[in-house]
């Protein structure tokens, strides 16, 4: 049963048992989480968010200081998926063609053939994305927006699923190029990874030098397609659509905010809430699904006013205030 404070009464939608599809999703989610846990020690909610992005067909920006296993987490996640994986290390001298690919002369028959770049994969790890200059970042971000790339005037479709998992260091670090706001908006989530807890860090030390167990593949591209399609069919009540719109609109009028979240953000919140509900084995969205996704979906899409910045107000504080100020109204 949902928690009493979730605002869900069960009257909007009969409390039907989870369908076979939903039960399988729950099982696969747990399987992915336990494979990742073989290597990455940390909050399981991060793993859930990676799966939500995969099902909602979105891209993830993973932010955190060096040395907290961002790369390790993404590489392990990719290993649980039976998909084509590639990795691009972003550096100041990386060129757009290093990502997309280029035509090279085949001397055997004097024709130009396309040598596809690492973007032609299902899961692309764009590591330290903010270490490359804007032009190179744009090549990646265009591909993310359009699911295609143009090389020498020829448009090439990218494979499906196509998910970019990018990592970046916080902007205060040296030698980083800030991603432009309009481009950051193309990421479905920004997940901020913090330091491990005391217990977690002890476990990292204890498992050092212990041979890493094999990480098994638990999801095939077909599974991912089927699960993404099923997640889209999850029911979301009109009262919850209303809740999402009111929450997102509230960010636009909050006094500490210069630029609030766009309708792209409302759509993202709805799609992710459905995917999260599905991964929890439900056929309907609960208000808590929306609440728990508010921060990762919106935290990179809000620009604070200069005064709020000076007062060291954080985006997360603003989002928490929006959640507190906007009640869920079941009757809407
Ligand atoms: N929570 C953790 N669980 C497992 N291993 C960890 C954890 N935190 C750190 N490590 C270990 O620390 C090392 C650094 O990890 P990794 O290279 O993935 O970090 P990163 O966040 O990508 O760093 P950078 O920003 O410098 O690229 C690895 O050897 C990894 O195994
Ligand atoms: Mg790294």
Q: What is the DSSP string of 193-247?
A: --PPPHHHHHHHHHTTTSPPPPPPP-B-HHHHHHHHHHHHT-B--HHHHHHHHHH
Q: Which of 122, 185, 184 is nearest to 157 (CA)?
A: 122
Mutate to test the pocket of ligand 1, among 35, 37, 39, 68 (most ligand atoms within 8 A of CB): 68
Domain holding 257, by residue range, is 234-332
Q: How many of the other CB atoms lie within 10 Å of CB of 112?
A: 11
Whether 274 maps to a domain, the answer reads yes
Structure confidence at residue 173 (pLDDT): 60
pLDDT for residue 94:
92
Nearest CA to ligand 1 atom 6: 69
Residue 115 placed within a domain: no
Cα distances (angstroms) measured from residue 290 to each of 44, 103, 140, 297: 18, 45, 29, 10
Instruction: Read off the CATH number of the domain in which 280 is found.
Output: 1.10.8.80
Has residue 64 been placed in a domain? no
- What's the pLDDT tens digit per position in 116-158? 999 999 999 999 888 888 888 888 888 998 899 988 888 899 9
- Decide if 7 is inside a domain: no
Give the containing element (helix H, strand E) for 115. Answer: strand 111-116
Q: Give CA–CA dist 328/8, Å, rounded.
A: 10
Residue 260 lies in a domain: yes
Is residue 18 one of the residues assigned to a domain?
Answer: no
Q: What is the residue with the minimal CA distance to atom 18 of ligand 1?
A: 69
pLDDT at residue number 11: 38
> Which ligand number lies closest to the CA of residue 46?
1
Asked if residue 149 is part of any domain, the answer here is no
- Which ligand neighbours the alpha carbon of 67 most closely? 1
Q: What are the residue ranges in the chain where pLDDT is below 50?
A: 1-15
Atom of ligand 1 nearest to the CA of 72: 18
Going by CA atoms, what residue is nearest to atom 24 of ligand 1? 66
Q: What is the pLDDT, as a whole number, of residue 264?
A: 92
**328 located within any domain:** yes
User: Looking at the 3D structure of the chain, how many domains does it have?
Assistant: 1
Q: Looking up tokens 């459905």, which residue turns up?
A: 274
Question: Which H or E run contains 103?
Answer: strand 101-106
DSSP assignment of 155-204 = EEEPPSS-EEEEEE--TTSTT--PPPHHHHTTSSEEEE--PPPHHHHHHH
Count of other CB atoms within 10 angstroms of residue 211: 6
Residue with tokens 């990592």: 167
Distance CA 161, CA 200 (A): 32
pLDDT score at 269 = 97
Question: Residues with beta carbon inside 6 Å of ligand 1?
Answer: 40-42, 64, 66-72, 169, 196, 200, 204
**Residue 71 Cα, ligand 2 centroid: separation in angstroms?**
4
Residue with the smallest CA separation from ligand 1 atom 27 is: 66
Q: What is the pTM of this model?
A: 0.87
Residue 171: per-residue pLDDT = 64
């Amino acid at each position: 049963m949902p928690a009493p404070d979730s605002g869900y009464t069960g009257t909007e939608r009969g409390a039907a048992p989870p369908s076979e599809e939903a039960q399988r999703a729950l099982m696969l989610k747990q399987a992915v989480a336990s494979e990742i846990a073989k290597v990455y020690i940390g909050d399981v909610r991060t793993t859930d968010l990676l799966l939500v992005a995969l099902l909602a067909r979105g891209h993830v920006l993973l932010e955190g200081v060096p040395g907290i296993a961002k790369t390790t987490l993404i590489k392990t996640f990719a290993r649980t998926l039976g998909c084509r994986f590639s990795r691009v290390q972003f550096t100041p001298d990386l060129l757009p063609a290093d990502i997309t690919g280029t035509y090279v002369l085949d001397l055997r028959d004097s024709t130009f053939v396309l040598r596809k770049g690492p973007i032609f994969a299902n899961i692309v790890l764009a590591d330290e994305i903010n270490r490359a200059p804007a032009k190179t970042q744009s090549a990646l971000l265009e591909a993310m927006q359009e699911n295609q790339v143009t090389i020498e005037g020829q448009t090439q479709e990218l494979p499906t699923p196509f998910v970019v998992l990018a990592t970046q260091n916080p902007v205060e670090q040296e030698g980083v190029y800030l991603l432009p706001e309009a481009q950051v908006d193309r990421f479905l989530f920004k997940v901020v990874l913090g330091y491990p807890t005391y217990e977690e860090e002890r476990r990292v030390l204890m498992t050092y030098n212990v041979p890493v167990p094999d990480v098994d593949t638990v999801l095939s591209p077909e599974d991912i397609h089927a699960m993404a399609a099923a997640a889209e069919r999850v029911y979301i009540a009109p009262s919850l659509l209303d809740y999402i719109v009111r929450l997102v609109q509230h960010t636009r009028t909050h006094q500490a905010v210069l630029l609030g979240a766009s309708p792209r953000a409302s759509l993202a919140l709805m799609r992710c809430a459905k995917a999260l509900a599905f991964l929890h084995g439900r056929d309907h969205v609960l208000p808590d699904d929306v609440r728990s996704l508010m921060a990762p979906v919106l935290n990179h899409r809000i620009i604070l006013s200069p005064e709020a910045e000076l007062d060291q107000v954080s985006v997360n504080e603003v989002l928490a205030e929006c959640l507190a100020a906007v009640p869920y109204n079941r009757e809407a």
